[in-house]
C-alpha cells in the first residue's frame, strides 16, 4: 500500500519528516505552496525527495484529481506532518480550500486513517529553525484546535517523530 503524505508550511520538525519520508517504501507526497516556500528557507530542494518510492505532487490548484485515489482504496493512511496551526484550524472547522485540507477532508470521508503532527502542541516549544533553535509560544486558540482535533474519529494526533514512526508502522 501507499501512504499519502501532506506537508504544510510548518518548519517545526520539517527536516526530520523529510528524512523519514525518504526511508519509506511507497509515498505520494503532496506539497502545499507554503511547504515549498518553507523548504527553500531551510535550504532544501523538494526535488531531492523524488526517488523510487516517492512520487511528488505540487499544489497547483486547491484540489487535485489524485484525491480520488482515496475513494478507490489506493492509500493505507494519510499523514500530514508537519502541520501548521492554520491547517489544523481548518481541519477542525471543516474548511477544505487548499490541497492539504482537501486531502484531510476526503481521507476522512473515505475512512482512511489520518495521522497529524501539529507544530503547536505545548505552551512553549524550542523548534529547530533554519538558523538555529527558536522559541515558539503557540496561542491558546492553536492549542485548543490541536486538542479538538484529537477528538476526531479516524484521526491520530502524534506529538513527535518517535510517536509518528510507531503509529505509521501499522500502515506500511
Could you identify the residue written with the cell 520539517? 14
Query: What letter does residue 100 receive in the DSSP assignment?
Result: H
pLDDT reported for residue 30: 95
pLDDT reported for residue 84: 95
pTM of the model: 0.94
Which of helix, strand or coil describes residue 29? strand
Distance, CA of 49 to CA of 23 (rounded, Å): 10
Distance, CA of 145 to CA of 165 (rounded, Å): 23
| Residue 64 pLDDT > 80 | no
| Residue 164 pLDDT > 80 | yes
| Residue 161 pLDDT > 70 | yes
Nearest one of 106, 115, 35, 32 to 74, comparing CA atoms:
106
- Please give the domain boundaries of the chain with CATH numbers for all domains: 2-171 (3.40.50.1950)
**24-50, pLDDT tens digit by residue?**
999 999 999 999 999 999 888 888 888
Rounded alpha-carbon distances, angstroms, from residue 158 to 81, 108, 146, 163: 9, 17, 10, 6
Q: Which long-range contacts (CB under 8 A, 24 or more apart) does 165-168 make?
A: 165/20, 167/115, 168/3, 168/24, 168/77, 168/79, 168/115
User: Could you tell me if residue 28 is left (phi over 0), alpha (psi between -120 and 50 degrees) or otherwise beta?
Assistant: beta
pLDDT reported for residue 26: 95
| Residue 70 pLDDT > 90 | yes
pLDDT reported for residue 6: 97
Helix axes 14-23, 161-168, angle to 10 degrees: 30
| Residue 62 pLDDT > 70 | no
Amino acid at each position: 500500500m501507499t501512504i499519502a503524505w501532506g506537508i504544510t508550511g510548518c518548519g517545526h520538525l520539517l527536516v526530520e519528516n523529510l528524512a523519514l519520508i525518504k526511508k519509506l517504501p511507497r509515498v505520494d507526497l503532496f506539497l502545499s505552496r507554503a511547504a515549498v516556500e518553507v523548504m527553500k528557507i531551510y535550504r532544501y530542494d523538494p526535488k531531492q525527495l523524488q526517488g523510487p518510492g516517492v512520487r511528488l505532487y505540487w499544489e497547483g490548484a486547491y484540489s487535485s484529481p489524485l484525491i480520488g485515489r482515496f475513494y478507490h482504496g489506493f492509500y493505507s493512511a494519510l499523514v500530514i506532518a508537519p502541520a501548521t496551526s492554520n491547517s489544523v484550524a481548518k481541519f477542525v472547522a471543516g474548511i477544505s480550500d487548499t490541497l492539504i485540507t482537501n486531502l484531510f477532508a476526503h481521507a476522512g470521508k473515505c475512512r482512511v486513517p489520518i495521522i497529524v503532527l501539529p507544530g503547536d502542541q505545548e505552551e512553549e516549544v524550542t523548534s529547530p529553525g533554519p538558523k538555529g533553535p527558536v522559541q515558539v509560544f503557540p496561542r491558546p486558540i492553536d492549542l485548543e484546535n490541536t486538542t479538538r482535533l484529537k477528538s476526531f474519529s479516524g484521526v491520530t494526533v502524534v506529538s513527535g517523530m518517535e510517536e509518528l514512526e510507531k503509529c505509521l508502522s501499522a500502515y506500511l
